[in-house]
Structure 1
Amino acid sequence: MSLPGGRQYPHWILLPPYDPKKGFHAWSESASFPLLLENLRRHAEIKAVGRSRFPGSLNRKNALWKEYRNFLRQALSNFEAAITVSNRSACLLYYYAMLNFAKAELLSTIPGNITGKFVGHGLSFSPSRAKSVAGDVLVVKEGVFPWLYEARTGHKLAIGTRISVKRLLTQIPEIGTQVTDAGFGKTQLAAIHHMIAIDANQTWSLLLMEGDVPKNSVSERLLLRHFREIEVPPDWRENFAMSRRTLTAVRLFESIATCPKSTTGNIDVNGTLAITYSIRDILGMRTSEHIDAVICPSLYKTKMLPMPASLARYAITYYASSLVRYKPSVFDLQISPEQAYMFDAIARECALPMLIDTLAGIEGEDQFFYAADTFRN
């Protein structure tokens, strides 16, 4: 059955989708450890920057900034140490860095949960009972993880929820090859290139997709509630500013809703982005320059449990840190070389994306990085 043609548009804008309620920050250089660490450090060392995160009186701001800067300093120290470790053992340091970054991120919204109290990880795992990575699960407890989950997704995560480690691994885009090679299946993610199409009277969203959303799933139903698949036009590479060397098979989705122009003919970018964000539960921020966003489907096929890559990375780092501490034999190169290989990749490949996730969370807006020559033909 052939697909319908899409609406015609003489003009368009290419930009990554972002939450119009939060906004974004664009960087004219590629993401790097020095750049990200320096921009996180300014929150800890520059009073005007750190205090601006907190509402209330000056005394309250000063008190919270004291906690904030010390969470950040501890996180930065752990992260900088982790970078120097060449294998999966780095996951222990990375996790304690991410735990303290998360506390700093949450301090502006739920300080009563963070300051002056014992704060649990929010995840539970028993290494002594672990039998295989494929069969292991994490259990949600009261603490940082469900608080961070709510802050980043807008949904509460029920205490006692069991989360499959194998499914979490397939939610992390940068380790897709290693996950497949280790025998844990294929990535569930799809890369997205995003356009705002413009005609004489209205605007709408177009999603050019590399990959697929799981068939007959709650994620596919959400996508098709707001977008319809249309025929890919012959000039799609030119319209999406992609090289003719691009050979990837793609699918194209057009938003069902449109956004009217103003009476003076101006376009409503935020209104159009709100259309895109109607699929927020499966739409993740990019951490790679070659795409605009990533589709992160529900962790379950028939029940919606949003799990953006940012939270999957965090949870897997917690899991890896537990094994590094209590059961390092799981990563024995002679017994389980595939698992050792995969978790070495997690330590290596997830580090920079986790810093991007952290900066976005702390600054309250998506972070988009572009190489210096990106805007030149």
Structure 2
Amino acid sequence: MSDIAAEFDFSMRSHGIALEMQQSNYLNNRICRPLVSAQATLVLESANADLLWDQLRRVAYVPGCSKRLAGTNWPDPQVVADELSAFISQAEVYYRAGEETSGPSAALQYYYSLLNLAKAELLLWRPDAIINQKLTHGVSAVHATGNFEDWRVKPQRGGVFPLLYEKRMGVPSSHLPGEINPDQLFSRCLESGMEYIQVRGKTLQAVPLYQTIVTDGTYSWSHLLIEGYGVIQQNKPSWDLVREIFEELPPLHHGNPWQVFALSSRLSLDSFALLIPCDGKYVRSGDGIHIGNLRLPEWEEELAARLRPMLGHPHGYFDGTLTVSLSDSEFVGLTSDLARYLSVYLVSSLIRYRPSALDLRLNPDQAWYLAAFTRQAALPALQSAANEILDNEFVFLDRVRG
């Protein structure tokens, strides 16, 4: 690979675009990859719960197969292993019950599944916060009426959710507002984005991204193609964070971005923006190692860390998601994965305490949307939880990009 790259005759470089370079050569030196850790496992099939539960059961029941479990610091390792097994076992029971339940009522089972998976995740992070502790949910819901506009989710000081937020975001949950309205939650769940827009008529607060690593034979760059980029530009704290890392360019800066990002030419790029880091990484190396992987692990580690307040796990055809700040004046992060967790909790609370809000006769549009959300959110919620528990992330590629 290094010998091939050394033969390229570039007269000019600009962010990975060799201006006098033939497109075929350029395309042979790029890596299309979800924005995840280098330990990710790419699965060439559609996302499915059975595979994820198979992997979680292996962690729970097969001794010595989990590096994360082995690395947990606790006086009695067997206690940690037993607790982990119990949490995962209970989580699967609830999830399977949710699969057998129709409509939004399934949210009650799905939430308790996610709650047990959250405890398993936190156990591997801070066993002292879980073992022998009587934990509350860490969140409450307000729904004085059956109307969408009147509902609120209130993060608490202690309990599971504040710990989960701190573990995933790296900052205390005290950064969150005292109340979060349902539009701030459901608008971040792309899997039911079409239904959300149909019912609420509001803009989504999360956008999908595609990533590719490109090289000119000397440097490499991680390029992001962001759909619906105007959503980020309209939220100043989010836009400021992105511009600290990237330069913004039109997608056609690439000439043929569909080929570069391995996308169908039927996809319109009218609402897309191309984000390119200001500095590249040197890849010329005599041993060929760096030119071979384009320093992909370093790019992904760096970008995942810097975009952490906004970045959600990849799912479906996308390489990741970015969510905007909850505030227009300062950055307050709530990723798609955490918003989905809170959304499922909210629907489960309505099921318990205000079922009329989910009755198709009384609130047809609202009930229809929440039923669609519950069905579609279950799998991505399971996938993001499993990725935090397993040693590596599972990324499902239901269609292989070119």
Range that drifts further, 212-221 or 320-329: 212-221
Rounded Cα–Cα distance in structure 1 between residues aligned with 2:124 and 2:322 = 28
Say which of 325, 329, 333 aligns to 2:352.
325
Measured in 2, the distance between the counterparts of 1:55 and 1:292 equals 29
| SS of 1:49 mapped into structure 2 | coil
> Paired residue for 1:152?
168
Q: Distance in 1 between matches of 2:182 and 2:369?
A: 13
Matched residue of 2:279: which SS?
coil
Question: Who is 1:339 aligned against?
Answer: 366
Distance 1:204-1:152 versus aligned 2 partners, 3 A rule: same
* Correspondence for 2:33: 15
1:246 aligns with one of 248, 259, 267? 267
Does the 8 A contact of 1:257 with 1:275 survive in 2? no
Partner Cα distance (2:194, 2:400) in 1: 27
User: SS of 1:88's equivalent?
Assistant: helix
CA contact (8 A) 1:197 1:204 kept: yes
Indicate conservation of the 8 Å contact 1:226/1:257, yes or no.
Answer: no
Shift of 1:335: 2.2
Contact 1:119 1:144 in 2 (8 A): yes
Distance 1:208 1:86, change over 3 A: same
Aligned to 1:313: 340
Q: Is this contact kept in 2: 1:51–1:62, CA < 8 A?
A: no
Task: Identify if the C-alpha distance between structure 1 residues 276 and 112 changes in structure 2 by more than 3 Å, giving closer, same or farther.
Answer: closer
**Compared CA separation, residues 364 and 349, structure 1 to 2 (3 A):** same
Q: Secondary structure at the match of 2:200?
A: coil
> Would you say 1:171 and 2:188 are equivalent positions?
yes
What is the alpha-carbon distance in structure 1 between the residues aligned to residue 137 and residue 391 of structure 2? 22
Task: Note the aligned Cα RMSD (angstroms).
Answer: 2.2
What is the aligned counterpart of 1:208 among 225, 229, 235? 225
How far apart are residue 160 of structure 1 and its match? 6.8
Residues in 1 aligned to 2:377 and 2:107: alpha-carbon distance in whole angstroms: 10
Point out the more displaced range, 30-39 or 79-88.
Answer: 30-39
- Is the partner of 1:252 in helix, strand or coil? strand
Aligned to 1:350: 377
**TM-score (norm: length of structure 1):** 0.90
**Contact (CA 8 Å) 1:91, 1:320: kept in 2 or not?**
yes
Contact 1:205 1:275 in 2 (8 A): no
SS at match of 2:42: strand
Structure 2 Cα separation of the partners of residues 217 and 68 of structure 1:
41
2:308 alignment partner, SS class: helix
Q: Distance in 2 between matches of 1:135 and 1:56?
A: 42
- CA distance, structure 2, for counterparts of residue 225 and residue 321 of structure 1: 39
Q: Which residue of 1 aligns with 2:209?
A: 192
Paired amino acid for 1:209: I
Count of matched residue positions in the alignment of Structure 1 and Structure 2: 367
Give the 5 Å matches for 1:95-114. Answer: 95-114=111-130
Q: Equivalents in 2 of 1:177, 1:56: separation in Å?
A: 41
Give the TM-score, by structure 2 length. 0.85
The aligned counterpart of 1:134 is: 149
1:374 equivalent to 2:400? Answer yes
The one-letter code sitting in structure 2 at the alignment partner of 1:245 is R
1:135-186 alpha-carbon deviations (Å, 9 max, x no partner): 3221111111111111112221118732222111101101111111222512
Cα deviation, residue 193, structure 1: 1.0
Report if the CA contact (8 A) 2:72-2:125 is conserved: no
- 1:154 maps to amino acid: G
> Which residue in 2 is equivalent to 1:162?
179
SS in 1 for 2:209: strand
